[in-house]
Amino acid sequence: MKISSLAAAVKIASWVVLLLAQGCAAQSAEIRVLSVGPLRTLLQDLGPQFELATGHKLVIKTDVSAALLRQIDAGETFDVALILPATIDDLLKQGKIAAGTRTDIARAAIGVAVKKGTQKPDIGSAEALKRTLLNAKSIAYSGEGASGVYFTGLLDRLGIAAEVNPKLKPLASSAVVPSVANGEVELAVISPPAILAEPGAELVGILPKELQHYVVYTAGVSAATKEADGAKALLKYLTAPAAMAVMKAKGLEPVVPRQHWFRSEELIPAEA
């Protein structure tokens, strides 16, 4: 009797475990994320933590904002988009992003990189940066990325576009810093997250304050998602206080909205 009772108890316990596992599986979801490249390393760190905490599975695809928009326009399915604010706003107007889900995630400055172990040039002032760019033999930047768009415009503002443009090498965002690390080009101009992720390159510093431009990365939940709860949970996780230290380690800065009487796009750093 004792043996049969024990066997029955084990069988019942197995059923309970199976039912619990099925319940967890029913609650978990696959969250498809379209993200700009500068948030890739942040998602690589926080993604597994989110999956462990929630049971959801993240499927992440990264590219520059312009390319992601082309993919969405072509019918790419997604649950969360992490792109530029203006792109999210346009998608909101088109009804492709759910109302009330627009969330500013982080911002990044624009920096300069050199090959690891080489001498770091002076970029501490506008004049120093101009000299460094004029003296550089070659400069890589993101051809379609927001940092690259700003950088090429900055050359015009500095009055050195004619001299520097022949030395520029527009590349895919993922190839900019590796081109410095392997010695293909002398300098790279891009956001710090891309620089810090490449072991063969070093961050010289960010552009001088008077020339600096911050790129904000904003998220939204797809209006067509079937996993709205999981998608919203991800946005909440990425903006939680615990995520701030990870952001800073990746070369990003958290942002918070100003008071409600300001426009949503007017942002300040969380530590300001």
Same domain, yes or no: 239 and 200? no
Whether residue 97 sits in one domain with residue 115: no
Distance in angstroms (rounded) separating the CA atoms of residues 202 and 115? 6
Residue 61 confidence (pLDDT): 95
Alpha-carbon distance of 161 to 141, in angstroms, equals: 14
Q: State what percent of residues in the chain have pLDDT above 90.
A: 76
Question: Is the same domain home to 148 and 237?
Answer: no
Identify the domain boundary among 166, 188, 211. 211
Q: Are residues 122 and 90 in the same domain?
A: no
Alpha helix stretches (DSSP H) within 113-172: 126-135, 146-158, 161-164
Which residue from 95, 169, 91, 98 is spatially nearest to 137, judged by alpha carbons?
169
CA–CA dist 109, 177 (Å, integer): 15
Mean pLDDT of 244-258: 82
- Total count of domains within the chain: 2
Confidence of residue 256 (pLDDT cuts 50, 70, 90): low
Residues 41 and 63 in one domain: yes
Give residue 60's domain range. Answer: 28-107+216-269
pLDDT value of residue 41: 92
Do 127 and 248 fall within a single domain? no
pLDDT above 80 for 140: yes
Assess whether 202 and 118 both reside in one domain.
Answer: yes
pLDDT of residue 53: 92
Of the candidates 196, 211, 226, which is a domain's last residue? 211
pLDDT, mean over the chain:
86
* pLDDT above 50 for 1: no
Render pLDDT for 155-207 as a digit per residue (tens, 0 to 9).
999 999 999 999 999 999 889 999 999 999 999 999 999 999 999 999 999 99
224 and 258 share one domain: yes
pLDDT band of 51, cuts 50, 70, 90 = very high
Tell me the pLDDT tens digit for each residue of 26-47.
Answer: 468 899 999 998 999 999 999 9
Whether residue 203 is found in the same domain as residue 117: yes
Residues with Cβ < 8 Å from 223, sequence gap 6 or more?
95, 96, 97, 98, 99
Which of residues 140 and 265 earns the better pLDDT score? 140
Q: Out of 11-20, 61-70, 234-243, 249-258, pick the least confident.
A: 11-20
Section 215-233 average pLDDT: 95
Domain boundary among 163, 186, 211: 211
* pLDDT of the residue at 28: 81
Is 11 inside any structural domain?
no
Q: What is the pLDDT of residue 239?
A: 92
Q: Are 248 and 146 in contact (CB under 8 A)?
A: no
Same domain for 88 and 222, yes or no, is: yes
Q: Are residues 103 and 223 in the same domain?
A: yes
pLDDT bracket for residue 66 (50, 70, 90) = confident
Q: Residue 60: inside a domain, yes or no?
A: yes
The predicted pLDDT at position 232 comes to: 96
130 shares its domain with 165: yes
Which regions of the chain does DSSP assign to beta strands (E)?
30-36, 57-63, 80-83, 103-108, 111-115, 139-142, 168-171, 187-190, 201-206, 215-221, 253-257, 267-269
**pLDDT at position 13 over 60:** no
| CATH number for the domain that contains residue 260 | 3.40.190.10
The answer to whether 123 and 204 have CB atoms below 8 angstroms apart is yes
CA–CA gap between residue 46 and residue 115 (Å, rounded): 28
| pLDDT recorded at residue 269 | 40
- Asked whether residue 155 is assigned to any structural domain, the reply reads yes
Q: Tell me the pLDDT tens digit for each residue of 77-135.
A: 999 999 999 999 999 999 999 999 999 999 999 999 999 999 999 999 999 999 999 99
Q: Rounded mean pLDDT of 9-23?
A: 37
